[in-house]
């Protein structure tokens, strides 16, 4: 396997991990926030460096130079490939902007030590290639929000039961996969357990009550960072997609589609802002799973593009809601608040990030939404109609929430509600990425297309005709050995033509 020029991945994971140990010793919450921003910023810089370094190598996968695990244990658990290359800087960015945008009114209730620990776990998960390593890290990632609920003496029973079931199903399911005879299909029970684990972690109906419970009882920042990276989708790509038969993929697509429409409808009728955001996110993450399980190049490319666009847009949207909540307390959408006159910048960010999440033209989500609809219509015409319906309902819900929060009456506060510099910098950074990705989508689209093609080829290498396994774990070996195919001029032109016509329209 090709080596990166520097140990980017190890530094990106070690920086927040060491930062968590350092910040845990600090008593002043404002000093802890500044230290957390430093360590999170260092992790972001290394994640971006790994992405740029990997892009220059023109390979499907690469690992760190001077790898410590390789020297000590003789194997390489940390790998960057076409799928994870943009996910790593996206995840690091989400944590960095969340730490930056935390106001003084929130710093005493928000644990920056656990924020850094959670970031290290997430970056390790997104760069891990071994199934048991992914399962272990997914289980470890449950600890930060669980500890926060316990420390704040908030109800944790619902969250703990669901996450315990998620981890148990992953462990038992993958153990059954390993016990299957070489050349034989994975047991139905194993596929069912892995399928249920992915659906549960993604909050698919009817296993979504843990997500609304988490947003209700945890701090907004902790709940936001636990769900927006969409590690349930990552688990589906790494563990389930390479070995799942067609019936399992179709089941996920149907259930996810029902969830997308249901959650969009629920977002329309919510009276509390946190629950509204929860259902809005649930609808969009379900659409990512719909495209993921279509398993066609166009549908999978659209799902991967939507994965990144939803992560960026809804994090910005959530941070805007969090900033407003820091000024007004828990927001009720059953009444008008009239905050536009006092927070026009937050109002603009609210509208831009909300519309970007539904694929508004000119934003990063537009191309991904178009590809998802096109892939869904080609595979199942009725699915395409349902995807459009979910997007329309989400758009109405966003505009309705905007009118409730920022218009409707004159509001006379006793203190200034103007947005602060760190808030503007955090959300403005996400807004620039959202608009820049919409104006210049080709680099990101090409990367996601390569990742989709690699995953489909690996699935074909793992599953023979009729869904029978050809070679155990060919998925991982394919990424280690296959070079990226060079595109001909004709392929490049054919790839760019539909995109150009879409933007012109």
In tens, the pLDDT along 197-240 reads 999 999 998 889 999 999 999 999 999 999 999 999 999 999 98
Same domain, 363 and 412: yes
Note the pLDDT of residue 491: 39
Same domain, 46 and 117: yes
pLDDT band per the 50, 70, 90 thresholds, residue 184 = confident
- Residue 59 predicted with pLDDT over 60: yes
Same domain, 493 and 473: yes
Note the pLDDT of residue 72: 62
Q: Which domain holds residue 254?
A: 130-504
- Residue 284 predicted with pLDDT over 60: yes
23, with CB counted inside 10 A (0-12, 13-18, 19+), is buried
Same domain, 117 and 200: no
Domain stop point among 129, 160, 190: 129
Domain stop point among 129, 161, 192: 129
**Size (the chain), residues:** 505
Contacting residues for 496 by C-beta, under 8 A, at least 6 apart: 442
pLDDT band per the 50, 70, 90 thresholds, residue 498 = very low
Same domain, 123 and 140: no
Same domain, 134 and 104: no
**How large is the average pLDDT for residues 250-270?**
91
Domain stop point among 108, 129, 150: 129
- Residue 399 predicted with pLDDT over 60: yes
Same domain, 215 and 327: yes
Q: Based on the structure, what is the number of domains in the chain?
A: 2
Contacting residues for 498 by C-beta, under 8 A, at least 6 apart: none
3-state secondary structure of 53: helix
Same domain, 256 and 245: yes
**How large is the average pLDDT for residues 460-488?**
46
Note the pLDDT of residue 254: 85
pLDDT digit string, tens, across residues 111-138: 899 999 999 999 999 998 889 999 999 9
Same domain, 97 and 173: no
User: Is the preceding peptide bond at 206 cis, omega within 30 degrees of 0?
Assistant: yes
Contacting residues for 118 by C-beta, under 8 A, at least 6 apart: 95, 141, 144, 225, 226
Same domain, 330 and 404: yes
pLDDT band per the 50, 70, 90 thresholds, residue 378 = low
Same domain, 253 and 386: yes
Same domain, 61 and 142: no
């Amino acid at each position: 396997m090709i080596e990166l020029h520097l140990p980017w991945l190890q530094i990106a994971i070690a920086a927040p991990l060491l930062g968590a140990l350092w910040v845990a010793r600090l008593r002043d919450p404002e000093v802890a926030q500044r230290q957390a921003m430093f360590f999170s910023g260092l992790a972001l810089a290394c994640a971006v460096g790994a992405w740029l370094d990997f892009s220059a190598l023109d390979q499907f996968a690469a690992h760190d130079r001077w790898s410590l695990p390789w020297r000590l244990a003789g194997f390489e658990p940390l790998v960057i490939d076409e799928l994870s290359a943009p996910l790593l800087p996206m995840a690091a960015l989400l944590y960095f902007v969340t730490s930056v945008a935390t106001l003084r009114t929130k710093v005493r209730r928000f644990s920056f030590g656990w924020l850094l620990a959670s970031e290290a776990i997430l970056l390790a998960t997104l760069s891990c290639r071994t199934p048991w390593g992914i399962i272990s890290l997914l289980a470890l990632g449950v600890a930060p929000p669980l500890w926060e609920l316990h420390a704040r003496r908030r109800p944790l029973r619902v969250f703990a039961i669901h996450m315990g079931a998620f981890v148990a199903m992953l462990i038992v399911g993958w153990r059954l996969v390993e016990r299957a005879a070489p050349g034989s299909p994975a047991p139905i029970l194993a596929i069912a357990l892995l399928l249920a684990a992915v659906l549960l972690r993604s909050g698919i109906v009817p296993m979504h009550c843990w997500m609304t419970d988490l947003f209700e009882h945890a701090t907004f920042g902790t709940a936001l960072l636990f769900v927006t990276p969409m590690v349930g989708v990552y688990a589906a790509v790494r563990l389930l997609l390479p070995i799942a038969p067609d019936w399992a993929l179709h089941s996920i697509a149907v259930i996810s589609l029902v969830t997308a429409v249901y959650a969009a409808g629920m977002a329309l009728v919510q009276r509390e802002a946190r629950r509204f955001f929860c259902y809005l996110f649930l609808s969009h993450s379900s659409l990512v799973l719909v495209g993921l399980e279509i398993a066609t190049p166009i549908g999978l490319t659209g799902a991967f593009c939507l994965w990144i666009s939803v992560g960026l847009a809804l994090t910005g949207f959530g941070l805007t809601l969090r900033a407003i909540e820091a000024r007004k307390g828990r927001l009720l959408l059953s009444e008008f608040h009239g905050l536009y006159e006092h927070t026009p910048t937050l109002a603009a960010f609210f509208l831009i990030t909300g519309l970007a999440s539904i694929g508004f033209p000119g934003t990063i989500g537009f191309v991904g939404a178009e590809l998802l609809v096109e892939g869904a219509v080609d595979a199942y015409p009725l699915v395409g109609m349902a995807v459009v319906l979910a997007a329309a309902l989400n758009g109405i819900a966003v505009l309705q929430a905007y009118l409730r929060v920022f218009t409707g009456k004159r509001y006379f506060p006793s203190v200034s509600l103007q947005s602060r510099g760190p808030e503007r910098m955090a959300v403005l950074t996400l807004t620039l990425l959202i608009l820049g990705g919409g104006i210049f989508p080709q680099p990101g689209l090409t990367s996601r297309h390569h990742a989709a093609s690699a995953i489909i080829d690996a699935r074909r290498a793992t599953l023979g005709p009729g869904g029978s396994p050809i070679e155990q774990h060919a998925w991982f070996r394919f990424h280690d050995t296959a070079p990226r195919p060079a595109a001909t001029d004709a392929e490049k032109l054919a790839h760019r033509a539909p995109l150009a016509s879409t933007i012109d329209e």
